Amino acid sequence: MSPIKWAKYGKIQKGMGKRKGVIRAHHTDLVQHAGTDKPKRNATPFSSMCLTDVGFMVLKPSIMMHQVELKLACYIAWHSRVSSVNHLGELVGSALERAVSLHHTKCTALINNHIAPCMFSDLIKDIGESQYSLVINDSTDIAAVKQLCIVLCYFSSSLNRIVSTFLGLVILESETAEAIATALIQFLTSVGLDFSKCIGIGTDSCSIMVRKENSVYIHLLQRHEDLRLINCICHTVQFLTPILQEFASINNLFQLESGGNAFKMLDCLQPFFHTLISRVSLSERIPLSDGKLLKVNLCDPSSHLPLCAVNFGILFTVALGDAKLDNTVEANVKNRCQDFLLEAAKQVQSRFPANINLWKSRSAFSPSAVLSQGKPQLMTISMLKIFKGDLGALDALYQAINFQ
């Protein structure tokens, strides 16, 4: 710009390096100022203060391309790894015949700075004032940083269904029960969720989470009296490991490779059934003879032992004591285990033959029994009650078969 054009603006207040003063709109002052170091430095080629014509136009991305990039980033955030966007962007760009400048660095920035905040805001708005429950579990990442993973479960009015979604990771400064409870409540407050709306919390059965004293649940219960604890079913079932092992051994008898020996099945099911009903039923309701096993009414609550008298086994008792659970949680675990034992007894009872004594008497006609020297008398076999033929002829044939 020439000094003549500068002169049209009158007096301009400017800082002139170390010397500060007023530049008059006079040709002499402008020429003198143009000879200083700063104007000379700014007038050099490719200076940041100088507009240079480099021979081509700089095009800004259109709104449509911004929309394409956001949609691709949303797809990556929901369905795939971020690294796959390197090839996906080029593929979409070739289809649109326009360059799509979207790779993993830009895609990560879009997800972290734009998509994630919007989705999280929509999630909080969808919850609103409705009640919700949480599933929490502490873990240690690859950098040995202790973190608390939080999963949210609530009923979505907009979707008309129950939604379970990841809520966040909280870095734990300490691994104590009080520190975990405090970090959880502070996180919920920071994202705008009211802890009083939480109706339940699900955890594993580790002692720091559910023990009777100084646990995470106890600290949360002090701030929310109506909070309910839901234990992981997988950790609850581990108390029933001995019974599950019995089921596994009996189940093997029904496999084809074992030959399907019906008599061996019955010999295993009967003592197992006696063991089950002796744990949960009153002693006077337990039959002494095998023929009355089908008459045991397991659906009658009056025949059940009270919860404090149920025999859960020594392993269960020791494990339950070591867990140091709250009284309410302990009673809940025992109730579920009692229901498991009753249901197991019902399932075993339903698999007994209609007449156990007749079924067992069939073993007297096996080749090993008939050919043995000490085979039983024919009249002592219970199965003869349903025989419609000539008993005399049958006895003659039976006695004629001798040990070879």
Q: Is the dihedral of CA 219, 223, 225, 229 positive or negative?
A: negative
Q: Which residues of the chain have pLDDT under 50?
A: 1-19, 256, 258, 404
Domain boundaries, the chain: 3-39, 63-123, 135-231, 238-349, 359-400
The secondary structure of residue 305, as a DSSP letter, is P
Check if the beta carbon of residue 191 is closer than 8 Å to that of residue 124: yes
User: What confidence score (pLDDT) does residue 11 get?
Assistant: 46
The secondary structure of residue 211, as a DSSP letter, is B
User: What confidence score (pLDDT) does residue 32 get?
Assistant: 84
- Express each pLDDT in 337-393 by its tens digit: 888 888 888 888 777 665 555 556 666 666 777 777 777 777 667 666 666 677 777
Check if the beta carbon of residue 215 is closer than 8 Å to that of residue 207: yes
Strands 146-156 and 161-171: antiparallel
Alpha carbons 390 and 381: distance in angstroms, whole number? 15
User: What confidence score (pLDDT) does residue 152 get?
Assistant: 92
SS3 260: coil
> Residues near 27 by Cβ (< 8 Å), separated by ≥ 6?
3, 4, 7
SS3 315: helix
Alpha carbons 61 and 100: distance in angstroms, whole number? 10
Alpha carbons 148 and 145: distance in angstroms, whole number? 10
User: What confidence score (pLDDT) does residue 9 get?
Assistant: 45
User: What confidence score (pLDDT) does residue 46 get?
Assistant: 64
SS3 243: helix
